[in-house]
Structure 1
Amino acid sequence: MSSPILSAGSALPDWLSYLETLHPSAIDMGQARIREVAQRLGVRIDGVVITVGGTNGKGSTCAMLEAILLAGGYKVGVYASPHLVRYNERIRLNGELASDEQITAQFARIDAARQDITLTYFEFSTLAALLLFQEQGVDAAVLEVGLGGRLDAVNIIDSDCAVITSVDIDHAEYLGDTREKIGWEKAHIFRPGCPAICADPVPPQTLIDYAREIGADLWLFGKDFNYSGDRQQWAYGGRGQRRAGLAYPALRGANQLLNASAALAALEALRPRLAVPAQAVREGLLRANVPGRFQIQPGVPCVIFDVAHNPHAAAALAQNLDNMPPYAKTIAVLGMYKDKDVDGVVARLAGRIDHWLCAGLEGPRGLSGEELAGHVRQVLAAHPRQPEVLDPAQEDAGHRPGVRPAARNPVAKPPAVVSSYNSPAQAYEAARKEAGDNDRIVVFGSFATVGPILEAANGRSSS
């Protein structure tokens, strides 16, 4: 039954606490319950709907689509998850976070309509976003898929264009333990006769087969769209459109051109309904922002926030770290959940970290700091650090104080140090005390790790 206490005027934190206890499980794959409540509420989006799924890159792709469409003068709603610091980050209207009052008003509507049907936290959030986009009459709604695709709450809406950014193994207990199984689940956001954009360079055959089976208009990276570039600029090439002379996206990272090209392919496919001038593309790519995706905090020491929590994302983080200038020492603050491939994540970064500060996460899914440290020690034992070979040309070029000069012969790296802490905050404070001006700190492993530290770091920088 509905809560007799909460109303549209109740505080958002009170509503969120209520939502956490409403349904017996946090994740309940299936759409029967949310479809019934959506039908009672008359949920309908009249604007263009773009659904974005994938293992990694969803948030960045959504942010680029949002920024480009806003620069083009469109009214845009974005639904994304999870949030880093504030729940309001999940629902954006014209580039601004939805207010507490806007969200709680929709929660009250949903709670009244559901009657004896229980909904998960995510399902409540999804309906609230859709109702707000309907109420605001957005020209375009960009919807990030939460988990998989076929049974995800977002998939109750038929999109005009669906984007899959990448396919890799994550949430294996729900989606399967192979790329083929996961690709099939994700492909279910495609719709017959509608553009289906796949930015994965090596898509699973199951994804291709499903698109063909339902008659989706499949756009494959490397076949239907692509990108090229040099150090100064890059260009997008699609089926019938080319956009040249583009500045690199404001979002950092090795895969951002792949995400950007997927966004531009979606806009090309929707060109009859969403005309976007070249200047809007340029402005949007420069404005797009996603906290916690290879986000480098200003100042010293260098602090990097990245929500990488699966091997695919960890490999991208490793590549991004390799592309940075050398640092005297790299310190990692890592916190992860039990249901993630912890060993796979650590293995991708094993040779790059000098000190691992393992932070415990709360809740039944959370690993304690010592449990996580055990995983790290086991992986490091299987992946010994290789000697470091630096460019001899750097020897006489000078180097920053505290950075070891390049050597002509391989330099043996000392074994990495592994420590454990009760919380991300404690681990980060220890990292700050240890790091010198020429060191770097990498905070990663989970939204629950990055979010609190990022909030604290922003508070420190503004005080």
Structure 2
Amino acid sequence: MKTLDEWLAYCEQLHPATIELGLERVRAVASRMGLRFDCPVITVAGTNGKGSTCAMLEAILREAGWRTGLYNSPHIAHFEERCRIRGEMAEAADLVAAFERVEAARGDVPLTYFEFTTLGILDLLMRAELDVAILEVGLGGRLDAVNIIDADCAIITSIDIDHAELLGDTREQIGLEKAGIMRAGKPVVVSDPVPPQSVLDRAAELGCDLWLLGRDFNYQGDQLQWAWAGRGRRYAGLAYPTLRGANQLINAAGALAALDALRQRLPVTAQAVRIGFGLMDLPGRFQVAAGEPVLVFDVAHNPHAVAALAANLEAMGSFLMTHGIFGAMADKDLDAILARMDPLIDRWYFTDLPTPRAASGRELEARWRAVTQRKGAGAEVFTSPMAAFEAAAARVQPADRIVCFGSFYTVGGVLKDGVPDIYAGRHGNVGAHR
């Protein structure tokens, strides 16, 4: 394998399962590679809000002058998005070199795609002479490959039911899996407003320094600005984060709590906080493209995230018509997602996705017809997200909006070359303006 694409294709066929939770195999290979971090590590787990929280931490810490490394997943359009060093996406050649080191150490140990690529990115970050590493957990926490690295501060964002077949079908069970990233005596920030008791019990069992939203830190805001207060530290008159949506203040509050908990090792100034919140770039999180018609992109793919998306859409005001492009994995709570979004969508564009885990566009349409309360509502089915987008673009009027949401494959399938030019789309030639 010489190119990144060749390595990624190789990784996909190394293990018979797409997901196999457990740390023994990954730990064995990591030990052979000598994987360890000499800098503080912040690990972020949760059902929703992980990526946003990581982006906020990165932006503030970089503005404070620290050399940051970030691992997040999955990516929107290009694999290199998963690794950022000092704010820059990793180079494909550097990832190839890291994957070669993983392969040399692996021997006959079977690794999944996620495990193999996680080891490669951790190796790349370890060699980057960082001041701080920010690691987003892929799935769960306790048995996720990221958890081979000990967190100096753990953050647990919102907890809801997702991946029930792997993590459990109650918030208490899922919370215990997320709590697996905690380390004895270390700070743990919980930004879920109503955390499961299992999370609190595990923190107490380990003697963690537990930071709870509403007890150890809080926030409030008005239409113009917001404020945060923690254990003896306050920030007032903050501009809202560039990541849109009311739910982002909860993520921002958790990020500030983590920075407060680590202030002895990673001090940041109030100026860095103020500027950092204005410098974030995270595609696909209630991303609203400028201009008319309005384009909204959101990787909401479970009921909790979709509820936040719906609330944000409702707060945008009225539109002549809303076109909804949707594709998702078959194991999601599709009925709940469709029922919540259906009152907001005037015409649906259901799409196939390029993965066997996905529900087909036809399956999504059938599920929607079973839950919709509207007679005569329109829907079409497409073979790809871009085909669905082109169809919506051909029909949309300036006073309309297009909402593209669901799986990362759905949003990434449209954003792979940047935000599409809606007017070029009317002529069957969707380009990209930057």
TM score, norm. by length of structure 1: 0.90
425-434 or 361-370, which moves further after superposition?
361-370
The one-letter amino acid paired with 2:118 is T
Are 1:370 and 2:342 an aligned pair? no
Q: Which residue of 1 aligns with 2:290?
A: 298
Q: Deviations over 1:42-85 (max 9, x none)?
A: 10111110000000000000000000000000000000000011
Question: How many Å apart are 1:427 and its aligned residue?
Answer: 1.1
Question: How many Å apart are 1:213 and its aligned residue?
Answer: 1.1
* Runs of 4+ with >6 A deviation: none
Are 1:166 and 2:137 an aligned pair? no
- Indicate conservation of the 8 Å contact 1:335/1:445, yes or no: yes
Q: Which residue of 2 aligns with 1:419?
A: 380
Aligned residues: 424
Q: Which residue of 1 aligns with 2:77?
A: 85
Q: Which residue of 1 aligns with 2:414?
A: 453
- Indicate conservation of the 8 Å contact 2:14/2:112, yes or no: yes
Q: Which residue of 1 aligns with 2:423?
A: none
- Indicate conservation of the 8 Å contact 1:82/1:90, yes or no: yes
Cα distance in 2, alignment partners of residues 202 and 24 from structure 1: 38
The one-letter amino acid paired with 2:200 is I
The one-letter amino acid paired with 1:201 is P
Cα distance in 2, alignment partners of residues 295 and 367 from structure 1: 24
248-257 or 292-301, which moves further after superposition?
292-301
Cα distance in 2, alignment partners of residues 333 and 97 from structure 1: 28
The one-letter amino acid paired with 2:303 is P
Q: Which residue of 2 aligns with 1:407?
A: none
Question: How many Å apart are 1:268 and its aligned residue?
Answer: 0.2
Structure 1 residue aligned with 2:405, among 416, 437, 444? Answer: 444
SS of 2:133's partner is strand
295-304 or 150-159, which moves further after superposition?
295-304
SS of 1:351's partner is helix
- Indicate conservation of the 8 Å contact 1:376/1:418, yes or no: no
Q: Deviations over 1:389-442 (max 9, x none)?
A: xxxxxxxxxxxxxxxxxxxxxxxxx75322222221211111111110000000
Q: Deviations over 1:235-284 (max 9, x none)?
A: 11111211111111000012111000000000000010000000000111
Structure 2 residue aligned with 1:41, among 33, 45, 58? Answer: 33
- Indicate conservation of the 8 Å contact 1:353/1:416, yes or no: no
Q: What does residue range 82-161 of structure 1 map to in structure 2 within 5 Å?
A: 82-161=74-153
Are 1:241 and 2:233 an aligned pair? yes
Question: How many Å apart are 1:363 and its aligned residue?
Answer: 2.8
- Indicate conservation of the 8 Å contact 2:386/2:414, yes or no: yes
Q: Deviations over 1:105-136 (max 9, x none)?
A: 11001100111111111112211121112111
The one-letter amino acid paired with 2:366 is G
Structure 1 residue aligned with 2:48, among 31, 52, 56? Answer: 56
Question: How many Å apart are 1:456 and its aligned residue?
Answer: 4.6
Q: Which residue of 1 aligns with 2:304?
A: 312
Identity %: 55
Are 1:73 and 2:73 an aligned pair? no
Cα distance in 2, alignment partners of residues 314 and 198 from structure 1: 21
Question: How many Å apart are 1:325 and its aligned residue?
Answer: 2.2
Question: How many Å apart are 1:180 and its aligned residue?
Answer: 0.8
Cα distance in 2, alignment partners of residues 18 and 293 from structure 1: 30
Cα distance in 2, alignment partners of residues 303 and 215 from structure 1: 47
Cα distance in 2, alignment partners of residues 324 and 264 from structure 1: 27
Q: Which residue of 1 aligns with 2:174?
A: 182
Cα distance in 2, alignment partners of residues 118 and 323 from structure 1: 48
Are 1:209 and 2:170 an aligned pair? no
The one-letter amino acid paired with 2:397 is G
- Indicate conservation of the 8 Å contact 2:348/2:379, yes or no: yes
SS of 1:292's partner is coil
Question: How many Å apart are 1:153 and its aligned residue?
Answer: 0.3
- Indicate conservation of the 8 Å contact 1:377/1:418, yes or no: no
Q: What does residue range 214-363 of structure 1 map to in structure 2 within 5 Å?
A: 214-363=206-355
Q: Which residue of 2 aligns with 1:462?
A: 433
The one-letter amino acid paired with 1:142 is I
TM score, norm. by length of structure 2: 0.96
RMSD (Å) for aligned C-alpha atoms: 1.2
Cα distance in 2, alignment partners of residues 346 and 310 from structure 1: 10
Cα distance in 1, alignment partners of residues 419 and 212 from structure 2: 40
Cα distance in 2, alignment partners of residues 107 and 455 from structure 1: 24
Cα distance in 2, alignment partners of residues 290 and 68 from structure 1: 14
The one-letter amino acid paired with 1:234 is W
Question: How many Å apart are 1:234 and its aligned residue?
Answer: 0.8
Question: How many Å apart are 1:457 and its aligned residue?
Answer: 5.2
Q: Which runs of 5+ in 1 are unaligned?
A: 1-5, 386-413
Q: Which residue of 1 aligns with 2:426?
A: none
Select the structure of larger CA radius of gyration.
1
Q: Which runs of 5+ in 2 are unaligned?
A: 421-430
The one-letter amino acid paired with 2:353 is L
Cα distance in 1, alignment partners of residues 384 and 229 from structure 2: 46
- Indicate conservation of the 8 Å contact 1:53/1:186, yes or no: yes
